[in-house]
Amino acid sequence: MRSPRTGRSAWPVPGDRAPVPAGPAPGRAALPRGGRAWSGPGRTRRDDGGVLQDVIDHLACPVCRDGLGLAERTVRCPNGHAFDVARQGYVSLLAGSRGAGTADTPEMVAARERFLAAGHYAPLAARVAGLAAELAGDAPGLVVDAGAGTGYLLARVLDALAPDAAGIALDISKHAIRRAARAHPRIGAVVADVWRPLPVRDGRAALVTNVFAPRNGPEFARVLAPGGALLVVTPGPGHLGGLVDALGLLSVDQEKERRLAASLSRFFTIITEVTEEISLTLDHDAVEAMVRMGPSAHHVDPAALRRRIGDLPDPSVVPGLFRITIWKPNRGI
């Protein structure tokens, strides 16, 4: 496996570009505020919007694209567009009307949280966090996770980086983003559609991560700072082995890698590609959680799924195969 050939200059965050009515000093994410904690064993957190304070100066109004400030429980731009901070600490920056579509449901989010809490994807998270740390060196910066889900992976990445690195979790599912707001003290959680212009200001992110999520090449390139990088994780051929056929799951499209390259190559050049393979030992409950947390949940009949799972060995050992690619914007090559 190769390490990223990127050096250590990719992490500074550029200065501010427009007036922001409230928030920390331009161009740098603030350190966590005193007295704020996050959820977890023995931990509590404030629900006054403080979770967004570290990243507010990096966010953009989805209506006019101007900067945003945070005052009490309201995110507002200089042009008067305002967005209420939910009591769970996240903000929705969806512009216009948008149906739920295939956004993760509460049941899917709960299943994902159970599966991830059991540590099944911990080796993958550690690998991604290690690559992020190699890219970052010792410098601080902003990480944008596009399609962040519950914030599980972004939290591990931030733990591997400098203590003043901050993260923005973006996801279309408010149910997932509620969990992301509690995943780490330096995550600002935002409901946003990855297919649309991202509510992030130009040139702010040192790293964009995209794990099993839609890819918006031009927007990823726009929000990256000079020297920044994009890290993408996709399932590899043979992911989950025989479970796919046994349970009638959606399979990995053999054209996926070609489409990935085509969707990004106009804006990025691939610099590193690694494969991560882990062995997953899953009892019946874990298999059900794994199916219910992903896109197959929209297509599999629950009763039929339970019957099929009952026919599996308990536990089942299957491969987890992942392709990790690191990309640089073409302007920086």
Least confident range of 12-26, 88-102, 103-117: 12-26
Express each pLDDT in 133-160 by its tens digit.
Answer: 999 876 668 999 999 999 999 999 999 9
Of residues 94 and 9, more confidence is placed in 94
- pLDDT score at 33: 30
On the question of pLDDT at 5 being above 50, the answer is no
Q: What is the reported pLDDT for 229?
A: 95
Mean pLDDT of all residues in 124-135? 95
Amino acid at 108: M
pLDDT at 222 over 80: yes
Per-residue pLDDT, 65: 95
Q: Does the structure show a pLDDT above 60 at 27?
A: no
Please classify residue 255 by burial: count the beta carbons closer than 10 Å to its beta carbon, then call 0-12 exposed, 13-18 middle and 19+ buried.
exposed
Model confidence at 331, in pLDDT bands (50, 70, 90)? confident
Q: Calculate the average pLDDT of the chain.
A: 82
Say if residue 167's pLDDT is above 70: yes
Q: pLDDT tens digits for 36-81? A: 334 433 333 444 445 688 899 999 999 999 999 999 899 999 999 9
3-state secondary structure labels for all residues of the chain: CCCCCCCCCCCCCCCCCCCCCCCCCCCCCCCCCCCCCCCECCECCCCCCHHHHCCHHHEECCCCCCECEEECCEEECCCCCEEEECCCCCEECCCCCCCCCCCCCHHHHHHHHHHHHCCCCHHHHHHHHHHHHHHHCCCCCEEEEECCCCCHHHHHHHHHCCCCCEEEEEECCHHHHHHHCCCCCCEEEEECCCCCCCCECCCCEEEEEEECCCCCHHHHHHHEEEEEEEEEEEECCCCCCCHHHHHCCCCCCCCHHHHHHHHHCCCEEEEEEEEEEEEEEECHHHHHHHHHCCHHHHCCCHHHHHHHHHCCCCCEEEEEEEEEEEEEEHHHC
Is residue 34 pLDDT above 90, yes or no?
no
Between residues 311 and 244, which one has the greater pLDDT? 311
Tell me: pLDDT of 102 over 70: no
pLDDT for position 259: 77
Question: And the tokens for 220?
Answer: 């990823």
Q: What is the pLDDT of residue 18?
A: 36
Mean pLDDT of 281-290: 94
Complete domains list, the chain, with CATH: 98-332 (3.40.50.150)
Label residue 66 exposed, middle or buried (CB < 10 Å: 0-12, 13-18, 19+): middle
How much is the pLDDT for 141? 87
Residue 289 has pLDDT above 80, yes or no: yes
Rounded to an integer, what distance in angstroms lies between the CA atom of residue 168 and that of residue 135?
A: 18
Question: How high is the pLDDT of residue 12?
Answer: 36
Q: Is the pTM of this model over 0.95?
A: no
Q: What is the pLDDT of residue 320?
A: 94
Residues above pLDDT 70, as percent of the chain: 79
